[in-house]
A and B are shown apart, each in its own frame.
Chain A
Amino acid sequence: MPLDASFVGRTYPPTAAYEVGREKIRELADAIGALDPVHRDRDAAWAMGHPDVVAPSTFPVIISLDASQRVVIPDLGVDFARVVHGEQRFRYTRPVYAGDRLRCVCVVEDITSRGGHDFLTIRTELATEDGTPVVTAWSKLVIRGED
């Protein structure tokens, strides 16, 4: 049964704030081989004009996909085991820094069905607790049909 396209436009309440930790940034930077000291040394980040260490560009997916998985996927009744990542994009207003407390607002931006599979695009607006926008993440998820 194809995913109900009437979900398009549905917007979810902001998630609880995720606090970006310096050691989490370092851990991800290590995992992807990002050796630039701005990811791990606050003095180096300051020297480049940043308030704290800078997260690698794909870091927000940790927060945005978790939010989608908790608020959007269950609401749409999607079996997460059938979900494959189709596309991903990040658009930054400013970098993500250690110490940021970010909330996600998830929006179902698009639903299409083709060849027995559903394609679900979720837009996630990540903003600080006072509402300052930081980064927008788009995830296009492919929900594989039941053979």
Chain B
Amino acid sequence: MRVGDQLPARTFRVTRADLVRYAGASGDFNPIHWSDRIARSVGLPGVIAHGMYTMALAGQAVAEWAGDPAAVVDYGVRFTRPVPVPDDDTGTEVVVSGAVRKLTEEGYAQVDLTVACHGEKVLGQARALVRVPRQDPVRKGEG
């Protein structure tokens, strides 16, 4: 793992059914994630994805790249833009990419993520700290 290493870009398809399932699994039943009527009444274009769902998808991309979900020791995002999810069979797409920005003294890789929908960033300052596998020691000053 080196500074500049790229996460392979991942595209996640998000449909209304996914939001319903996430609502049930997470316990977040805010109606802006399932009712167009209520979403529009609070000024949204329609139903939007749970911010935590988008965060979870991006976290999933990091976990798969790291090869070990338990390697993610710190993970934070800012929810900057909603992800509207139309009521059809195709839904929308969330695209996650990222790169290793830094290797810390403690043996962690800082991964900065770019998470976009229709080419616009939906998460800001999305950053994860990932434990570098022991068999792949930190090589400072490379990359």
Q: Which A residues are closer than 8 A to B by beta carbons? A: 24, 27-28, 30-34, 36, 38-39, 48, 50, 54, 56-58, 61-62, 65-66, 84-92, 95, 138, 140
Contact = CB atoms under 8 A, between A and B. Distances in A.
Contacts of B72: 57, 92
Contacts of A39: 69
A36 B32 CA distance: 30
Interface residues on B, range: 20 to 34
Contact of B76 (A54, A85, A88): A88
Contacts of B60: 32-34, 56
A34 B62 CA distance: 11
Contact of A48 (B26, B52, B70): B70
Interface in B1-52: 12, 18, 21-22, 24-28, 51-52
Nearest to A84: B79
28 contacts: A27-B24, A32-B25, A32-B56, A33-B57, A33-B60, A34-B60, A36-B69, A39-B69, A48-B68, A54-B69, A56-B59, A57-B69, A57-B128, A58-B52, A58-B59, A62-B26, A85-B51, A85-B52, A85-B79, A86-B78, A87-B76, A87-B77, A87-B78, A88-B79, A89-B76, A90-B75, A92-B73, A92-B74
Interface in B64-118: 64, 68-70, 72-79
B76 A31 contact: no
Contacts of A84: 79
Contacts of B24: 27, 31
Interface centre among A31, A32, A85, A95 (most CB of B within 10 A): A32
Given A62-B27, A66-B27, A54 B22 contact: no
A42 B75 CA distance: 25
Interface in B98-143: 125, 128
B69 A33 contact: no
Given A86-B79, A87-B76, 6 more contacts: A31-B21, A31-B25, A31-B56, A56-B60, A57-B128, A90-B75
